[in-house]
Amino acid sequence: MISLNKAVAVVLLIIPSFSQAEQVDPQTGLIIDQGFDTVKKQCTVCHSAKLIVQNRATRQGWMETIRWMQETQGLQQLDQDTEQEILNYLATYYVPEAQGRRSPLVIDQWRPYKAN
Ligand code: HEC
């Protein structure tokens, strides 16, 4: 039988994911808010939006990803307004410390597995 404490803990874990009522675009998986249309238009031409949704970066990190794609992957230059809108969107929803999302694992805290 599940103890009351465990049941309460489970409920507390579940509640925040429901109360965070972000609208998600079923086609791309991207959160629908300011900048979404632009990101959908500019950033899903060459690859799935999953590459975005599964990534977390700071604003600076996103900028570097965009520069990297421009330098090596054929992404066109974006005009200033478009780029700012994309960065605002990404830096709101796809940042490492985004609320309600698990923070990234810190790899150097891993320990090698030792069998007994
Ligand atoms: C001209 C084509 C093109 C467009 C447009 C494009 N990308 Fe990419 N992007 C790529 C390619 C190619 C890769 C590498 C894919 C792979 O490794 O499978 C990539 C990889 C990525 C990655 C993964 C980077 C990594 O470190 O693995 C992210 C995140 C990403 N793109 C985000 C975006 C965002 C945000 C936009 C909109 C500004 C965008 N992409 C628009 C071509 C494009």
The whole-number average pLDDT for the span 23-38 is 96
- Is the Cβ atom of 66 under 6 angstroms away from ligand 1? yes
pLDDT digit string (tens) for 44-80? 999 999 999 999 999 999 999 999 999 999 999 999 9
Mean pLDDT of the chain: 85
The whole-number average pLDDT for the span 19-45 is 92
In a domain, 68, yes or no: yes
Asked whether residue 6 carries a pLDDT value surpassing 80, the answer given is no
- Choosing from 46, 60, 80 the residue with most ligand 1 atoms within 8 A of its CB, the one to mutate for a pocket test is 46
Residue 57: domain span = 28-95
CATH number of the domain to which 60 belongs = 1.10.760.10
Domain count, the chain: 1
In a domain, 11, yes or no: no
CB 94 within 8 A of CB 58: no
In a domain, 100, yes or no: no
Does the pTM surpass 0.95? The reply is no
Listed residue (19, 13, 42) closest to 30, CA to CA: 42
Two tokens at 34? 């300011």
In a domain, 6, yes or no: no
In a domain, 111, yes or no: no
